[in-house]
Amino acid sequence: MIRTGFPTVGPTLTSVGEHAVIDAIVRASPSPINGDDAAVLTPSTPNSRVVAATDMLVEGRHFRADLTTPEFVGRKAVVQNFADIEAMGARPIAALLAIAAPPEMPLAVIEGLARGVGQATADYSTELVGGDVTQSDQLVVSVAAIGSLGGNRDPLSLDHARPGQRVVAHGDIGYSAAGFALLNAGVRIPEALEPLVHAHQVPRLTPGRGVVARAAGATAMTDNSDGLIRDLSQIATHSKVGIDLSSLAIAPDDLLRKAGELLGQDPWEWVLTGGEDHTLLGTCDGSAPVGFRSIGRVTRTGQVLIDATAPHYTNGWESFG
Amino acid sequence: MIRTGFPTVGPTLTSVGEHAVIDAIVRASPSPINGDDAAVLTPSTPNSRVVAATDMLVEGRHFRADLTTPEFVGRKAVVQNFADIEAMGARPIAALLAIAAPPEMPLAVIEGLARGVGQATADYSTELVGGDVTQSDQLVVSVAAIGSLGGNRDPLSLDHARPGQRVVAHGDIGYSAAGFALLNAGVRIPEALEPLVHAHQVPRLTPGRGVVARAAGATAMTDNSDGLIRDLSQIATHSKVGIDLSSLAIAPDDLLRKAGELLGQDPWEWVLTGGEDHTLLGTCDGSAPVGFRSIGRVTRTGQVLIDATAPHYTNGWESFG
């Protein structure tokens, strides 16, 4: 079943006041260390390193109130931030949540958001440890994620890919873009294609895959946030290498092909430029770490190619387009 | 000299594109660990605890483009977050910056913001380690601060005030509210009153005062963000104590009185309800830590009083007012 739409009725943020808004968030996503000026986190591992990232979701830009739900937005905001932590080979441990919202917005929207944040932080065995709520014209959800990197191995940085390595992926590629295209087209969506829509509303990622990859000897990693070619180009540029993808390994699957037929669009575009899947993309020397599959090889060409040929689609997300 | 106003001309965010926007930020606030999916921070002290907080500034709500500059907004965004770290007795070590901005905004605004962030992070010997830029209808600046709490002493939490303790403050109280009142009134501001305006545009706080207070035996602390009475009430409520302030110790000084006369306003209102000074407010057993002055005593009454009498003004910042 596809769920969409934000609550439009009920008590507003102005009518209940800031205190009740904060209470609603803390109730939906409780933590014993939330509520002071700042949160103090106890280290999980002696001498572990702290890893930090932040990402914003803006209504009308990253999500539409008619195509998703507040719960999904809350979950997505957390998962996309935790994907950045995982992409370093680290383990997410906490999230901070800052929300700017119009005063006439129903409290139920914030309650839904907070439930989503609570679910996602719980999925990762983490906590919402602090935040801020404030007034704006447009709903803005800003999450900061904090992670922990144990041991002495290097983090999985963009500049650690080496020629000859295997390129590996964990998660679907192109599903989020296909799901958005289906929702945006306003067509009746066949039940079989619902996984694409779900993948757009909340990216799927198994918690801990980044840590597994680092333990298994992966060296570079990023997540598919802006588009497969664009994100792999980041690794290529920073590592001064090329990447040759196997067209067989990344070819649109049945679901993507069916969605493409339904909408009259080329599913390869979703695969190569879609982004927002937050699929983990890495490089490693030996066989693919558990949960990852091979999608190509690191080369010396300086370019991201498919079967040694330039890809048909190379665009990606542009923030001020 | 009072500086106000945002740049209104020059290349826009859309015309230069996301890449140039990020470049401008990183140039103004460089860090060797920025630029990957997430930043990996090396621990300063073995087994130190991580401290984290987040705060947003929204244009038209927390600042007006005609009454401040982008540099000041950038500095304020960092300082108010670091004040929350200091209020735990911890040392800020890094900041994350997420900006949502209208596409037609001049790049010069973001460059100014980034310069301000760069100055403030440098003042605290910290770095801007990561961020996000995205499009919105309204400028929103979201900062997350990460700090480090060394040693085994408790953090300076809201619930650690004890009856009989001294109440201490570091920094001015009421200056920010008076400065905003002066700017907002549109009057010609005498040079002598400019420190009030400066305090509003960028809160002043000596880096490290929170760490000093914790080392000197302070037990509870917060910062004056929402108003003196309201913020001290947080300590009173969480610690199940009362606070009796000395009217002599917090009385409006010459500058505040002169601003009050100029505008026909009672400067006591700025002192008691103003907020945004980010003054550190704490409690301790012995004498006041270096840099702090005594402003009252912790009592058993359960209320925040002045000379044992209810204050005339008790309001404070309300996010959805």
Question: What are the pLDDT digits (tens) for B45-81?
Answer: 777 899 999 999 999 999 999 999 999 999 999 999 9
A303-308: long-range contacts at Cβ-Cβ below 8 A with a sequence spacing of 24 or more? A303/A236, A303/A242, A303/A243, A304/A229, A304/A232, A304/A233, A304/A236, A304/A242, A304/A243, A304/A245, A305/A242, A305/A243, A305/A244, A305/A245, A306/A244, A306/A245, A306/A246, A306/A247, A306/A250, A307/A244, A307/A245, A307/A246, A307/A247, A308/A244
Specify the higher pLDDT residue, A46 or A74: A74
**What was the ipTM of the complex prediction?**
0.94
* Other residues' Cβ atoms within 10 Å of the Cβ of residue B45: 12
Q: What is the mean pLDDT of residues A143-163?
A: 95
Q: How far is B222 from chain A (nearest CA, A)?
A: 6
Q: Which of B90, B149, B320 sits opposite A103 (nearest CB)?
A: B320
Does the pLDDT value for residue A163 go beyond 70?
yes
> Is the CB of residue B90 less than 8 Å away from at least one CB of chain A?
yes
Contact B142/A137, CB-based, under 8 Å? no
Whole-angstrom CA distances from B245 to B210, B283, B308 are 21, 12, 8
- Give pLDDT tens digits for B257-294: 999 999 999 999 999 999 999 999 999 999 999 999 99
pLDDT, residue B44, reads: 63
Token reading at A63: 């999500």
Q: How far is A156 from chain B (nearest CA, A)?
A: 9
Does the pLDDT value for residue B256 go beyond 80?
yes
Calculate what percentage of chain A has a pLDDT beyond 90: 92
- Give pLDDT tens digits for B121-145: 999 999 999 999 999 999 999 999 9
Q: Which of A40, A56, A96 sits opposite B134 (nearest CB)?
A: A56
Q: How confident is the model at residue A183 (pLDDT cuts 50, 70, 90)?
A: very high
Q: How confident is the model at residue B317 (pLDDT cuts 50, 70, 90)?
A: confident
Does the pLDDT value for residue A317 go beyond 80?
no
- Is B191 annotated in some ligand binding site? no
Task: Name residues whose C-beta falls within 8 Å of residue B248's C-beta, 6 or more positions apart in sequence.
Answer: none
Q: How far is A8 from chain B (nearest CA, A)?
A: 18
> Is the CB of residue A42 less than 8 Å away from at least one CB of chain B?
yes
Token reading at B123: 């003042």
Q: What is the mean pLDDT of residues B201-223?
A: 96
> Is the CB of residue A121 less than 8 Å away from at least one CB of chain B?
no
Stated length of chain A: 321
* Average per-residue pLDDT for chain B: 95
Does the pLDDT value for residue B240 go beyond 80?
yes
> Is the CB of residue B173 less than 8 Å away from at least one CB of chain A?
no
Calculate what percentage of chain B has a pLDDT beyond 70: 99
Report the residue of B41, B93, B209, B319 to disrupt the A interface, i.e. the one with the largest count of A CBs within 10 Å. B319
Does the pLDDT value for residue A321 go beyond 70?
no
pLDDT, residue A44, reads: 63
> Is the CB of residue A137 less than 8 Å away from at least one CB of chain B?
yes
pLDDT, residue A320, reads: 75
Specify the higher pLDDT residue, A48 or B170: B170
Does the pLDDT value for residue A47 go beyond 80?
no
Token reading at B32: 């060797």
Q: How confident is the model at residue B321 (pLDDT cuts 50, 70, 90)?
A: low
> Is the CB of residue A46 less than 8 Å away from at least one CB of chain B?
yes
* Other residues' Cβ atoms within 10 Å of the Cβ of residue A160: 20
Q: What is the mean pLDDT of residues B217-245?
A: 97
Q: Which of B51, B130, B319 sits opposite A40 (nearest CB)?
A: B51
Task: Name residues whose C-beta falls within 8 Å of residue B15's C-beta, 6 or more positions apart in sequence.
Answer: none
Report the residue of A13, A16, A31, A50 to disrupt the B interface, i.e. the one with the largest count of B CBs within 10 Å. A50
Does the pLDDT value for residue A161 go beyond 70?
yes
Question: B97 by DSSP, 3-state: which?
Answer: strand
pLDDT, residue A315, reads: 80
- Is B276 annotated in some ligand binding site? yes
- Is B312 annotated in some ligand binding site? no
Q: What is the mean pLDDT of residues A218-225?
A: 97
Token reading at B291: 């840099």
pLDDT, residue B153, reads: 92
Give the nearest chain B residue to A45 (CA atoms).
B47
CA distance A73 to B106: 30
Give the nearest chain B residue to A105 (CA atoms).
B320
Contact B38/A145, CB-based, under 8 Å? yes
Q: How far is B236 from chain A (nearest CA, A)?
A: 13
Q: Are B242 and B311 in contact (CB under 8 A)?
A: no
Q: Are A128 and A34 in contact (CB under 8 A)?
A: yes
